[in-house]
Structure 1
Amino acid sequence: MLDGFYMHYQPIFYLQDPAQAIGYEALLRHPAGWSPFDLLREARRAGAIPVWELRVLERAVEEVLAASSSTLFFNLTPEAFADMAFPLRAARLVESRGATTARVCVEISEQGVYTLKEFVRSLQEWVDRGFFIALDDFGMQRANLDLVLSAHLDYVKIDRALVEGVACDRQKQKLLAGLVEGIAGSGAYPILEGVEKEEDMAWLAETGWDVGIQGFVMARPSAFSNFVS
């Protein structure tokens, strides 16, 4: 099942300049229709993480970094993030393809974070290798504000659950405004996930916020070749 995977990518745009992409998030796909969760579960069952994850990164680096000047956003499993040897291996892979780690932003899901001490220790290994760092799915479970305030984060991706339907939900509007302000105040750049309705996009555009946006209203995941000429 682990053979035959391919990659799709979804752009992340600036809200105030939606023609300009911040970067492209790599999304794992399989011709048999297996979800990324199923593929990673099989890799865990086979004891192939993070070795298999390095194969996925290699494919994304070749398709995005070697073919463009774009920034690659790449999701890490908790195992790869916490493996102290993995940042060096990932850096060597990127550099062997003629790119720099400054063109890669690794995404760590808030769901996989356990303690602040563990998180900061692992994160520093990635920072030392020159990678950018994004906290993904923020607000989906614990909304760890201590991570945002205490760790070196370049981006914080606010979960779609806090974004979807915001145009018609005053409570979400207030909550989202507070999160955007707090994240920006910490020095990280907020990215809003799951912007999939035109009315939500229109409401967000009126806020004047300096944030990134990602969702179907802007672009659906696709082969990277569909985004570059």
Structure 2
Amino acid sequence: MIFILPIAAVLLGFLIAIIFKPAINNAVKLLLAFSGAFLLSITIFEFLPNLYASGSDNIGIYIMAGLLLQILLEFLSRGAEHGHLHLDENTKTIPWLLLISLSVHCAFEGFPLSDNRDLLYGIVVHKIPIAIIISSFLLASNISKIQIALFLLAFSLMTPLGSYLATLNFWTESLKNSINALVVGVLLHVSTTILFESSKNHQFNATKFAVILLGIAIAYIL
């Protein structure tokens, strides 16, 4: 399941982008807000407490390192991890910086999934709107269909790759906890960026707020 669901999420996002040809509209933004709230809640309710309960040293330092890592990755991807994608529609080649950044991000987020099933659901829910947005931009560009397929294939496989690497026997418990703390920092940055970006004209959006509450409630029930 930890290998299949992340791939299925990217495929679903791609199919939605093809069938419905969604613009970056309110429906996608609401789905993104829900996914951000759900992922943040899972991280705070379960992943983070379990990590501190492990008794490992310097957890806070690694969390902050994860935040800084995600800032660096978003400099390369221009914010694709939280739904912002600025791609030249005239480009004809694979955006390598975007692919590399997303690959590193996805490999890290996949690392703790074998030990945390609820976090797996959070990652999957988060991947769907991101896959819709990335697929929509790629399909609107001049990149060949083969290159788009290769891009999305690599994107879909990196999270399972991270999960597979975590199952190898050479990791010590201390090292795994340190990497998991990095992942917490990455997820905190991505999810909070989604939630706390300013709304249009800084207006209160009741629908978005309700969707965020729903994401928090479902995460708490799980």
Higher percent of residues as helix: 2
TM-score, normalization by structure 1 = 0.25
- The structure with the greater share of residues assigned to strand is 1
Q: Say which structure, 1 or 2, has more relative contact order (CA 8 Å, 6+ apart).
A: 2
